[in-house]
Amino acid sequence: MPTPGSGRGFLWLGLVLSSVCVALGCETQANSTTDALNILLIIVDDLRPSLGCYGDKLVRSPNIDQLASHSLLFQNAFAQQAVCAPSRVSFLTGRRPDTTRLVHAGNFSTIPQYFKENGYVTMSVGKVFHPGITSNHTDDSPYSWSFPPYHPSSEKYENTKTCRGPDGELHANLLCPVDVVDVPEGTLPDKQSTEQAIQLLEKMKTSASPFFLAVGYHKPHIPFRYPKEFQKLYPLENITLAPDSEVPDGLPPVAYNPWMDIRQREDVQALNISVPYGPIPVEFQRKIRQSYFASVSYLDTQVGRLLSALDDLQLANSTIVAFTSDHGWALGEHGEWAKYSNFDVATHVPLMFYVPGRTASLPEAGEKLFPYLDPFDSASELMEPGRQSMDLVELVSLFPTLAGLAGLQVPPRCPVPSFHVELCREGKNLLKHFRFRDLEEDPYLPGNPRELIAYSQYPRPADFPQWNSDKPSLKDIKIMGYSIRTIDYRYTVWVGFNPDEFLANFSDIHAGELYFVDSDPLQDHNMYNDSQGGDLFQLLMP
């Protein structure tokens, strides 16, 4: 992702793919472009693992579950920061937020740029890079993409007054189920993105070059603007509250996310909720959860149509499909809503990879791996994930893993510091997880769980919640919460931070959190004051 004026030339189609290794277990191997596997990368906005394939009994997500049944699914994948722009910059460059300076302050190679430089036709549909300064206001085009990125025309209406309220008037609401024929342009952004992605797949079917297609879906990001029929899947009487909907007694104020973006919506403003802790009225909490789940099922139909087209075009036997989200989303847990924290509900994400011939057998002639499944069909049965890993992994591993699966040279490990190194990676290569034993004997892949750590972080402007606690500008960051997640615990320290030097001061500890996974899986009982403070944390930092 070069900064403006960096002088890198624009690379068009037809670059020669120098090294392809279809057989897993090797890093590089010379091969022809005709053997190269395509990449379909699906990135979802604000999707926590509220999916059938992750054990959610309420949410109907048959098409994503079907993908999981043919994939290697990581049960414990975590984002490096629970907000859109920093997370996407991090996993699309393979660097941690401290290296990227949270947004984009360096000249770093990106995943699509690397594939483009290795002979792939790279294409972007929907929200892949976060718009704005974090992607040079261009979605990192032309550096990362062979063609200008596509954004759906109806995207501009997402935050406008298109939600019909009980008063019959149009509002800019949080809850926004719509009749699609009545909205501007008669469509929604994710529908348009699916249609565009399918058209690109049709064009690439006859291409001599392999393709890298990234599709970014908006839902379930707020506002919850989705076809109203999906509400029927989730009657309010079936919607429960979060099991821990109160703010925990031991939660440090600096750790709390006051969900200011939620409060800006007209329907939430009408509730006159106190700042910063609320709470939101119970009945409205149910409606938020209902609309989030309905948005997930709507998203699932779009993923289903996209994957069904991959099948119809006979591309399923030559295309790796990676599916993930930029971060999670709190649905009332700890009295919080949205992301903006270091809790599991904000950092835990779905992550799965379908690799033809490896995670599933190659489809035979006429066989469909991904037939479209209707979430309204009550007869459809829940599909179990095909292969699973319980190991803790990080989104920052996406870059080296996709490169390895495609047979490209895996970028080298980053030196310390690496701010001025253009191509390197700070995440682990997950390729070893794709060397399967007999799945009949053990569907869970082995690892050394107590050696694994997932890191995340979140900035704050002050010790107590305020108007910009959720998304402070860089100059306003005074405190950084660094968090370690292991199989046994989540450990977070909030330390003084200098935004000018981008340096943390671990001797200036403002607060801490310690939660034990086995005895406190919801992270409600902070044991930090019973521990040794921040000393252990400094030993575990990467």
Residues identified as active-site = 84, 130
Residue 332 DSSP one-character state:
S
Specify the pairing of strand 175-178 against strand 224-227: parallel
Half-sphere exposure of 156 (CA within 13 A, CB side): 3
Cα 445 to Cα 55, 382, 449: the distances in Å are 18, 22, 11
Alpha helices in 1-159 (DSSP H): 62-69, 84-93, 97-100, 111-117
8-state DSSP, 529: G
| H or E element in which residue 472 lies | none
**Angle, in degrees to the nearest 10, between helices 282-312 and 62-69:** 50
| Cα 202–Cα 206–Cα 212 angle in degrees, nearest 5 | 70
Q: 457, 397, 339, 396: which is closest to 83 by C-alpha?
A: 339
Q: What is d(CA 510, CA 479) in angstroms, rounded to the nearest whole number?
A: 8
DSSP symbol at 279 = P
Burial class from Cβ neighbours inside 10 Å (0-12, 13-18, 19+) for residue 250 reads: middle
**CA-based Rg of the chain, rounded to a whole angstrom?**
22
As a whole number of angstroms, the distance between CA 450 and CA 454 comes to 11
Strand order in the sheet with 503-516: 454-460, 479-485, 489-498, 503-516
Enter the tokens of residue 216: 């970014």
CB contact set of 276 (below 8 Å; sequence gap of 6+): 256, 258, 465, 466, 469
DSSP for residue 263? H
Our separate counts of H helices and E strands in the chain read 11, 19
In this structure, what token pair is assigned to residue 69? 């049944």
